[in-house]
Amino acid sequence: MNNKKSLFLFTSLLSIALIVGCKGEKASAAKKVTDSVVAPLPTTDSVVVEKEIRLVVDSIGKSYSMDKGVVDLAYSFPVSGPQPLVDSLRAYLSSEMAEVTGGDGEESVVVKPYTNFADGRGMISYYAKNAYKSVSRTLDEIDDTDVAWKPELSKFVMKENETDRYVTYGSSFYMYSGGVHGMAAKYAVTFDKKTGAKLLNVLNPKDIKELQPMIRAGVESYFRRTRVTDEDKDVESLIKSYMSTLFLDTAIIPLPANGIYLSPEGVVFIYGQYEIGSYAIGMPTFTVPYSKIGKFLSPEARCLAGIK
């Protein structure tokens, strides 16, 4: 009897131990699952990367070629992109075309600006029509109707380059109204892609003396590209001769009046006809790399160029 009681007691205690053990294992497993669910995930610093929005343009042109003259206008019209930039560029294109439609001198007329900036084809057609009216008046003022030439006017405002921070538009203009040769102009404007604002100051005029080595080297490089031929033996004397013909009141070469803008390669300089030299030298154009000129850029230009 005692043996049976002892065996029963031992069996009961063993069962209790097994039950308690299973509950303990289940509780432990449940706790692990709970911990895995509620435990916070590792956190990292989140960086919001703004997706670059490219400027989409449409090349639009309008021309007239008739007995009384030739007109040729064209531009890169913004179709889509950052809206502040699109709005700014459309207004800029209108103002650029309006400048050449009224004519020059005493016979110039005021042409009202085209108001629907979103209508790229309508806008250029409007300005081309008015430009032709202006050009055709040139021959109306000449007594000799058998002249062997026609007045000409052309203006192109095209997208030069684009980065993730800015867009540059370049303008080229030509007008011929008789005489030995016509008149031409080239310049460009850089726009902030985010705000649409023009970059008004690329360099500070107060740094003109420190910029002289770069400007002189740039003008010389222009002469080497455009004036030196394979037959020229004494190149350095030739370059020195060209440099001596520049129209300078002092030894300082001034900054271009309108032709400074940003490009992916560096700061571009364009001097207009007669700005620093005779008609014969053309329009000196050159690029100074950011590695050389970067420290002289305005804060706004440094930001757009991505220079820290």
Is the pLDDT at 185 greater than 90? The verdict is yes
Is the pLDDT at 9 greater than 70? The verdict is no
Higher pLDDT, 76 or 229: 76
Is the pLDDT at 39 greater than 60? The verdict is no
Q: Residue 84: exposed, middle, or buried by beta-carbon count in 10 A (0-12, 13-18, 19+)?
A: middle
Least confident interval from 31-45, 72-86, 144-158, 252-266 = 31-45
Is the pLDDT at 151 greater than 70? The verdict is yes
Q: What is the pTM of this model?
A: 0.80
Is the pLDDT at 241 greater than 80? The verdict is yes
Q: How confident is the model at residue 17 (pLDDT cuts 50, 70, 90)?
A: very low
Strands 266-270 and 285-289 turn out to be antiparallel
Contact between 257 and 272 under an 8 Å Cβ cutoff? The reply is yes
Contact between 187 and 171 under an 8 Å Cβ cutoff? The reply is yes
pLDDT in tens, 280-300: 999 999 999 999 999 999 999
Domains of the chain are 56-192 (3.30.565.40), 205-305 (3.90.640.20)
Higher pLDDT, 24 or 204: 204
Q: Cα angle at 63 between 57 and 65, to 5 degrees?
A: 165
Q: What is the mean pLDDT of residues 40-68?
A: 76
Contact between 293 and 260 under an 8 Å Cβ cutoff? The reply is no
